[in-house]
Amino acid sequence: MRGLLLKRKNGGGIIITHDGLFCRGVVGEHDALGDEVTVEPPDRRTVQWWLAAAALSILCFGLGVYRMFFPGVWAYVALDLDPSIELALDSQLRVVGQRGFNDSGNKLLSPLDLRGKPVDVCIGYLLERAYAAGYLSEGENSVVLVTVTSQPSHRKLGTEALASFVAESFPARQGGVEIVAISTGSDTRQRAVSNGLSTGRYLLQQELRRSGHMVSDGSIREDPLQQIEEEHGLTVAALVGSNGSVLIRTWDMPGIGPAADPQVFLAAPVPVEGEERE
């Protein structure tokens, strides 16, 4: 700050600037009264340090309070029916965030606010809504891809538990359903999100590319999973490897005829020959 030196005392001084600010600061040894000098305001710097410390304390406190009311994300669960949806969960497995990755996913979520509700309730509710909206139909074979990204493991978020839960909650009572549940790391999820894809569809895209199938981003994002399977001759179950579980639920057991109760069994992962997993 530049100004006219009005007073000197113990290495410090008081100046007045062109626009009338009286200011205290450190002045040079040879500066004389009336000289135009540049000063470093020491008091202000001290005050700034105090302000910074106070601001940091308030920030920490505020963050604590914020986390109390809005807990951080502990895990992500993505559902790919035709709609692709992701739910962010806290450590109590309550939903703290939701997002759709394709048009049908956005449409399905747009009237909903799932925050604060338990994840199992939300998954059941979303399956019901997808059924009501016509994304899941009676008498057809459906594919559901569930992807979980969680740093510490949780019993309820195990791939087998998740697949079983989806099978039990699946609303269509006729026709078969194949549920593929996969556990992935946060790096994979991060790459998927930066590509605008759900983690499940991103893994599918990677698998297709490894198999030499070129598929556009738009197609992998929007097309029904069954359609992708049929077009490229690849099963979604091939994604699983050692990181997940496949559940197949069917009423019509081949060669036995229609069953009174749905049959649910855990299928063995489908290996992909000579391919490395991500």
Partner 1 sequence: MDEDTLRQLLARAREGDIEARGALIKAYRSFVFSVVSAYCRRALELGLDDELSIGLIAFDEAVTRYQPERGVPFLAFARLVIKSRLANYFRQEGRYREIAGGREISEEMVQVEAAAAWEDFLWEEAVQDRAEEIKDYEQALEEFGIALEELVSISPKHRDSRLALIRAAQSIAADEKIFGRFGPERRLPLREMASKTGLSPKVIEKNRKYLMALAIVFRYPERFIYLNSYIRPRAR
Contact region with partner 1 (CB under 8 A), list: 15-23, 86-94, 173-181, 221-229: 15-23
Please check whether residue 109 is in contact with residue 97, taking contact to mean a CB–CB distance below 8 angstroms.
no
The residues pairing with 15 across neighbouring beta strands, listed in sequence order, are 5, 23
Asked if residue 246 lies in contact with residue 163, where contact means CB atoms within 8 angstroms, the answer is yes
Neighbours of 164 (CB within 10 A): 18
Determine contact, residues 1/39, Cβ cutoff 8 Å: yes
For the bound state, the minimum distance from the C-beta of residue 15 to partner 1, rounded and expressed in Å, comes to: 9
Candidates 4, 193, 264, 267; binder of partner 1 (CB under 8 A) is 4
Q: What is the closest distance, in whole angstroms, from the C-beta atom of residue 50 to partner 1 in the complex? A: 16
Please give the Cα distance from 15 to 37 (Å, whole number). 8
Tally of helices (H runs) and strands (E runs) in the chain: 8, 11
**Site for partner 1 contains 27 (CB under 8 A):** no
**Which member of 29, 34, 64, 261 binds partner 1 (CB under 8 A)?**
34
The reply on whether position 33 binds partner 1 by CB under 8 A is yes
Q: Is 126 in the site for partner 1 (CB under 8 A)?
A: no
CB of 75 to partner 1, least distance (A): 49
d(CA 236, CA 177): 12
Token pair 């894809």: residue? 197
DSSP character string of 98-130: EEESSHHHHHHHTT---TTSBHHHHHHHHHHHH
Q: Does 5 bind partner 1 (CB under 8 A)?
A: yes
Going by their DSSP bridges, the two strands 2-9 and 36-38 should be labelled as: antiparallel
Question: Applying CB under 8 A, which part among 18-26, 74-82, 87-95, 167-175 lies near partner 1?
Answer: 18-26
14 is an interface residue for partner 1 by CB under 8 A? yes
The β-bridge relationship of strands 22-26 and 244-253 is unpaired
Contact between 261 and partner 1 per CB under 8 A: no
Nearest approach in angstroms of CB 6 to partner 1 is 6
The residue from 1, 22, 139, 209 that contacts partner 1 (CB under 8 A) is: 22
**How many residues contact partner 1, by CB under 8 A?**
18
List the one residue from 10, 20, 214, 261 that touches partner 1 (CB under 8 A).
Answer: 20
Query: Which residues contact partner 1 (rule: CB under 8 A)?
Result: 4-7, 14, 16, 18-24, 32-36
